[in-house]
Amino acid sequence: MTIGDAPVRVALLGCGVVGSQVARILVEQADDLKARVGRPLELVGIGVRTPGPRPGIDEALLTTDVEALVRREDVDVVIELIGGIEPALTLILAAIETGKSVVTANKALLAQHGAEVFGAARASDVDVYYEASVAGAIPIIRPLRESLVGDAITSVLGIVNGTTNYILDQMHTHGSSFADALAEAQSLGYAEADPTADVEGHDAAAKAAILASLAFHTRVNLTDVDCEGITGISTGDIAAAERLGCVVKLLARCSVSADGTVAVGVHPTMVPVEHPLAGIRGAYNAVFVESVNAGRLMFMGPGAGGSPTASAVLGDVVTAARNRVRGVSGPGESAYSTPGITDPGRVESRFYLSITVRDEPGVLARVAEAMARHDVSIAAVRQEQLGDGGYARIGVTTHEAPYASVRDVVSLLTATNDVHGDVRLLRVEGA
Amino acid sequence: MTIGDAPVRVALLGCGVVGSQVARILVEQADDLKARVGRPLELVGIGVRTPGPRPGIDEALLTTDVEALVRREDVDVVIELIGGIEPALTLILAAIETGKSVVTANKALLAQHGAEVFGAARASDVDVYYEASVAGAIPIIRPLRESLVGDAITSVLGIVNGTTNYILDQMHTHGSSFADALAEAQSLGYAEADPTADVEGHDAAAKAAILASLAFHTRVNLTDVDCEGITGISTGDIAAAERLGCVVKLLARCSVSADGTVAVGVHPTMVPVEHPLAGIRGAYNAVFVESVNAGRLMFMGPGAGGSPTASAVLGDVVTAARNRVRGVSGPGESAYSTPGITDPGRVESRFYLSITVRDEPGVLARVAEAMARHDVSIAAVRQEQLGDGGYARIGVTTHEAPYASVRDVVSLLTATNDVHGDVRLLRVEGA
């Protein structure tokens, strides 16, 4: 607790893209922040891995003895912007154990060690806030935790990775290949040199675990998320989507299944152009929430970037600081429910299959029969000749079916002589 | 404070469209609400003006002795859903004075008596939450107060009245007159029998005052809002907007002027179709927030209705109840800033003027000269003949200009023999 007129002392861990902006704002907006908190916010140290000056940063604040910084008795709030599991987890637990509130942007850590972190926070009666961990600047964590807490959320759909949304948007807008769109994204700073975490969907999956935990008052771990990235998306998929009046989005989908279990997945998905999420362009993010009483809500904004993410961090810092000043903590995580996770095979969806076949009599009948055998109902079919080589492409849109059934259809078809190459399979959103 | 295992006791004032839904949810969701609060939420009384049974409501809860209900010692949280200034103000102050937290949807009251209510809450160390007062189910109050509190908001634009958005959407979609669209809205329950508060912009103005107060950490009163409704919107205005690639929206606009003062207005405004707010259809609401660090955020959802508004109320009730259980209150309102209100005449905007003139030589020159005389720069002009009667219509889009200058141009033109009837004047959003 902050006594008397003492400033609220803040320690920052990490001074990268986001950390440097947080440090900047703490200095530039000092007067406003003081007015809003009720006491000055004082940045007392910045823990970094490698020593040496950073532009715009007071070098006296930098330290490589990061553990000592988080354990300092006079620190009130620790901001963790290192990312990754270690040393972030050890440092955060040390901060909590020694009575500090924590503000973090660390999605990977919370998606895999959330239970431990929130349990420690509850035991120490400190706050752990993490708005910056999902959807950058967009307030979504606090609304889910505190605004929609009187409602029953039925689904959360999110475009929560700016890199992949930018790439897919480029593929639609310019007809680029995935490889070309990725290179463009990297050249503009929308994708990392090693883009794996983004394009394989892992980043979105961690965020999905966090969103689902909040929405359904339970603990969803990263390993519970059925995850598929966009590396396999072809120009043919993009064209097929457009023919169907859709755009391909990497969609994080969290919903309650018919049996009450919770389904959480990240998949490239065809989204109808009328859906609010279809219009999310470039590196923007959006989260679409459906609740029993509120109906359909959407939150939209910059999903990444130094300043946008820093905005979310500072919002949490001020809120945590206000609590410290008043000698209180906010309500902790509400994860009382144990609905269980839906087996990915049982998750129902509409699907689009693109099957390249020999253009011969009986092929379409056999494709249709394979679907019927696994009880997958066809909503629409389109067959078109592919050049003069004797091949055709059959595009099938299904009605709602369990993933396992559709997966079995794909296996069946792939094993036949009719089918050339792989069967492309994408989920389709909406009725 | 709630002692031991005692339930958190809630008193409800008003049992109308929203109140009846709140009562329903408190009963139907009792188990989940208890799990989220940590103690049962117990509805102990419903204050109403007229006695008599209501469908689905336990009649034993109803009472017309509303003052006694709010003063009961065992009540923890009072939900005020009566609306209007009195008796709501007296009842809310009585609740606060006797140590209850308050949840309200009362925009008119907060826009005119906010200072008094929040001051009383601070003195009694209780919470006053009002998410339901603006934009129905959409979380916007809490995000502004607690998520964006580390940022510097530069503008808030809102479509915050579902009745007028529905009417204008109908006028665009079906070419209806205002009168016909209003009648349609009333028949579907999107407009009241007496629609004045909505169509004259007063409802939106109260909400704008609340949003501006939060965004700029100051106290903006209803009387500070420059307000204009949609009753004068013609099919000609709609057609002109469409020709300019815009849609007409009743826009609440809160921004920081060049001199640091705060401008708050509600006006029918031409919004370019590319703007995120242009796509808000029917009775939906949306709030578009621009901040220095976060960039551009948008919040979208149902702006009214029993269940959506009840969702916002229940979110506040749970949050207030959680605080009571833990013996704390949340941070109060942060209104430390005194920027002052921009004189409406000095607020700059782009404008569209539609002038019906005699189709004679020299008329256009005189119109252009009138604009030049008041330093209003023309961005685009279009003149077209009106039938065979010797009249023409001149449509002018201006660059940014102070409202007073444009108003003076309109006065000048209206006084001449050239101009037939009134000059139509609408703001135009965007660069």
- Per residue in B272-320, pLDDT tens? 999 999 999 999 999 999 999 999 999 999 998 999 999 999 999 999 9
Asked whether B250 and B166 are in contact (CB, 8 A), the reply is no
Tokens of B18: 């929203």
CA–CA dist B431, B400 (Å, integer)? 8
pLDDT tens-digit map of A207-257: 999 999 999 999 999 999 999 999 999 999 999 999 999 999 999 999 999
pLDDT tens-digit map of A143-159: 999 999 999 999 999 99
The response to whether A176 counts as a known ligand-binding position is: no
Q: Given this model, what pLDDT does residue B378 score?
A: 96
Tokens of A430: 């909406």
Asked whether A297 and A155 are in contact (CB, 8 A), the reply is no
**Domain limits, chain A:** 8-136+306-326, 148-302, 345-428
CATH 3.30.360.10 fits B148-302, yes or no: yes
Task: Using CB atoms, pick whichever of B32, B137, B297 lies closest to residue A152.
Answer: B32
For residue B332, pLDDT beyond 90: no
**Poorest-confidence range of A412-416, B137-141, B267-271?**
A412-416
CA–CA dist A421, B248 (Å, integer)? 52
Domain boundaries B8-136+306-326, corresponding CATH code: 3.40.50.720
pLDDT tens-digit map of B106-126: 999 999 999 999 999 999 999
CA–CA dist A162, B62 (Å, integer)? 52
Q: Given this model, what pLDDT does residue A387 score?
A: 87
* Higher-scoring residue by pLDDT: B189, B81: B81
Task: Give A-chain residues touching B308 at CB under 8 angstroms.
Answer: 293-295
CA contacts within 13 A on the Cβ side of A302: 19
Residue B291: in which H helix or E strand, if any?
strand B284-291
**Helical spans, DSSP H, in B9-106:** 17-28, 30-37, 66-71, 88-97
For residue B388, pLDDT beyond 90: no
Mean pLDDT of B343-352: 97
Q: Given this model, what pLDDT does residue B119 score?
A: 96
Cβ-based neighbours of B429, under 8 Å, separated by 6 or more: B157, B251, B253, B269, B270, B271, B272, B275, B277, B349, B350
Q: Given this model, what pLDDT does residue A320 score?
A: 97
Q: Given this model, what pLDDT does residue B355 score?
A: 95
CA B205 to chain centre: 6
For residue B6, pLDDT beyond 70: yes
Q: What percent of chain B has pLDDT over 90?
A: 91
Q: Given this model, what pLDDT does residue A4 score?
A: 59
pLDDT tens-digit map of A28-47: 999 999 999 999 999 999 99
B151 vs A311: CB contact, 8 Å cut-off?
yes
Q: Given this model, what pLDDT does residue A75 score?
A: 98
CA–CA dist A28, B383 (Å, integer)? 50
A143 vs B146: CB contact, 8 Å cut-off?
no
CA distance to A404, B360, B382, per residue, from B395 (Å):
61, 16, 5
Q: Given this model, what pLDDT does residue B160 score?
A: 97
Please report the residues numbered 175 through 194 in chain B whose beta carbons come closer than 8 angstroms to any beta carbon of chain A.
Answer: none
Beta strands in A187-239 (DSSP E): 226-227
Catalytic residue status for A207: yes
B326 vs A322: CB contact, 8 Å cut-off?
no
Task: Give B-chain residues touching A310 at CB under 8 angstroms.
Answer: 293
Q: State whether residue B373 is helix, strand or coil.
A: helix
* Chain A interface, best mutation among B296, B311, B316, by max A CB count within 10 A: B311
Nearest Cα to Cα of residue B128 among B319, B387, B399, B366: B319
The sign one gets for the Cα dihedral B94, B99, B104, B106 is positive
Q: A193 — alpha (psi -120 to 50), left (phi > 0) or beta?
A: alpha
For residue B87, pLDDT beyond 60: yes
In total, the C-beta contacts within 8 angstroms joining chain A to chain B are: 181
Task: Using CB atoms, pick whichever of B21, B35, B150 lies closest to residue A317.
Answer: B150
Per-residue pLDDT of chain A (431 residues; tens, 9 = 90+): 455 579 999 999 999 999 999 999 999 999 999 999 999 999 999 999 998 899 999 999 999 999 999 999 999 999 999 999 999 999 999 999 999 999 999 999 999 999 999 999 999 999 999 999 999 999 999 999 999 999 999 999 999 999 999 999 999 999 999 999 999 999 998 999 999 999 999 999 999 999 999 999 999 999 999 999 999 999 999 999 999 999 999 999 999 999 999 999 999 999 999 999 999 999 999 999 999 999 999 999 999 899 999 999 999 999 999 999 999 999 889 999 999 999 999 999 999 999 999 998 899 999 999 999 999 999 999 999 988 889 999 999 999 999 999 999 999 999 988 899 889 999 999 96
CA distance to A9, A44, A67, A289, B225, per residue, from A59 (Å):
18, 12, 18, 44, 47
The sign one gets for the Cα dihedral B287, B291, B294, B295 is positive
Global pTM?
A: 0.94
Task: Give A-chain residues touching B292 at CB under 8 angstroms.
Answer: 307
Q: State whether residue B229 is helix, strand or coil.
A: coil
Nearest Cα to Cα of residue A42 among A53, A27, A54: A27
Domain boundaries A345-428, corresponding CATH code: 3.30.70.260
ipTM of this complex prediction, to 2 decimal places: 0.92
Q: Given this model, what pLDDT does residue A116 score?
A: 97
* Chain A interface, best mutation among B147, B153, B287, B296, by max A CB count within 10 A: B147
Q: Given this model, what pLDDT does residue B277 score?
A: 95
pLDDT tens-digit map of B360-371: 889 999 999 999
For residue B3, pLDDT beyond 70: no
